[in-house]
Chains A and B, each alone.
Chain A
Amino acid sequence: MRIQIAKGRFIDPANQVDRVQDVYIADGRIVGLGSAPAGFEADRVVEAEGLVVCPGLIDIAARLREPGFEYLATLETEMEAAMAGGITSLAIPPDTDPVLDEPGLVEMLCYRAKKLNRAHIYPVGALTLGLKGERLSEMAELVEAGCVAFSQANVPIVDNMVLMRAMQYAATFGFRVWLQPIAPFLARGGYAHDGEVASRLGLPGIPVAAETVALYTYLQLAKITGARLHVTRLSSAAGLALVDQARAEGMDVSCDVSINHLHLSDMDIGYFNANCHLVPPLRSQRDREALVQGLADGRINALCSDHTPVDDDGKQTPFSESEAGATGMELLLPLTLKWATEAGVPLLKALARITSDAAAIVGITKAGHLGVGARADVCVFDPAAYTPVNRDALKSQGKNTPFLGLELPGQVRYTLVEGQVMYGG
């Protein structure tokens, strides 16, 4: 299948290209930009006038809920959601059931995903067996099976000696360690940011210190062990300041933020909206502003959906009894565009946070760029159209998100994976 994407605004952040030009695809690869290679005859022309053509998006945190939570979502439903969101590569946290601590399990997941032939998946293995924080997982075997990094998802290791050993072991091989900064005792029993809103609503709070205390520990241990640390889902200004400080001291550390924390604060909990029950908690407006700025100037490296399908049973309960999480893959691009507009970030730079910069965190070279010869994972979207967020429109089995009822800027028109149109048209 030879495809010509015609007259689109081609944006490839990795190569710093932003211009109107045609894209020529053959055999799953980009074979020409601007002008067709000799003898190229398109089987199909995708008209993209007025549309943006960019690398397929990379979501570095998307829970597909398999294995173990198939009642919440399946690979089939979530892969459709990824396609609808223009996402062609995604990293999967290990908090499945059983958790991703077994090479066989990871192989099975990769096999299932490959068979579906949608987005490429990059499993993140469990740093410790069962995420229990006691015994190390077989990291070398897990990498052979397809894992790209190791994490504890939202289950922090209580014993710092185990954490240090896990980081040392990972550092032995140069494996990436992705950690969510949660100090277990400081976060225990809390459901919302410990501030005015939680105090007013009588929701047990989670102080910012739950993030900063853990983060400081992680940074210190990464320094000692030489582990390649990536900090997931920053939520606070103070947390970002710690990352800044570590970098100023010469540490190589990356971090990300979720679409929810980029756009919402604890005020959005309103009258106990359980869709705003998230990990980490939505923090203050001041924290949100720091995250917006941090992502704009690149101190926060990537934006992710933190896609976590939760069903109505998990949300139609009092806030503190509800399940944390929100669906997000289909909102990743619209919320990136919304942020870019509001923060005055040029499109090229904004798209980098969900393509090339995200690729660097996962450590993949095959995705996130569209030079000649690159794998033809492409997202074509209409920046002037709007994406309605409602239960019928969402492809994901998870219908719960704080953005329900809104119309967000941008609409994915085509998603190509390895040169095949998998969505749109």
Chain B
Amino acid sequence: MAAIPALLPSTAFRDQLRRRGGESAARCYQCATCSSVCELAPAARPFPRRQMLLAQWGMADQLAADPAVWLCHQCNDCTVRCPRDARPGDVLGAVRSLAIEKLAFPGFLGKLVGAARLTWPLLLALPVLFWVTLLGLTGRLTPPAGLEAGWAYDALVPHSFIYAVYFPVAAWVILASWVAGRRFWTALGASGPRSGSFLGNLMPALVEVATHKRFGSCGAARPRKLGHLTLLWGFVGAAVTSGLLIVGMYIQHLPMPLALDHPYKILGNVSAGLLIVGAAILVGNRLGDRKAAGASSAFDTFFLSVVVLVIATGMVVELARLAHAPSFALSSYILHLGFVLCLFLTFPYSKFAHMLYRTLAMVHARMAGLEKR
């Protein structure tokens, strides 16, 4: 006779969930309206009704290994229709934030960012202070005298500084994400058999990320899908621009700063425009219909705030250069560099990590035959 697996509910997990904005789970009475209205739920393993039960019982391990938690795009169709106002969208959002913390490498950084409600001033200030210290120690806290119009930021903070900081940081973030991603992938594997190759299924998942087709089938969150997609392409554009600039500087030897009508510059400014529009839609959506938008936990707000700060200071940095205001430009630049550092460093631990986990969950869903109904 097969042994009956023991259920291991965790009251500690339930308390954590409550603090992360998942307290409404207690109201769920398992009617399954949520699963039936979800446009993303696979027919063979629907969500989020089951996940609501796991959340009520505090079944942390099951939830950590459940791809459904990440296949959910929090469009809140379920929350809008829930007869008990148990807000499944918000509960799964809270479950995801705990999963990010649980999977994080190293764990203490996961806890630090997970507690963003308390630690956010520290998380924002430390990277800025790092840059202030670095530039202070090298005597660069004031712009060099005699800057002529047409100066580039290289004159304030040499590119070598940027590379020296961000390349190692990027390497570290990739390592930390790799370890956490492996943990998640292993846990997912325990939830059911997979077939096919990882890379073969990664491509369609990336196409989905690039197009947001699944997100688009959600009803209540149409505006959020648009904002999210715009923001994503803004980031992609900004990353491509950065790559092109390296090519431009070291291979093409283009004179810096580039003129406003240079294709690279145009790409950069269009990307910035997308970032601003996307962020504005997302922020506006959060301030609008609370039920459809979902509750904002500190964990969510922290990530969105860092994104907004990066975009805002980035814009100010460009305008300050065009306005030939070197002192103002330098202080804005320091803030910008600090916030970008914060965004990079917290990637594996903040809501930003959904990029990693959701993509992996979508690959897993394809390999485990959990495609849409």
Query: Do A and B interact?
Result: no
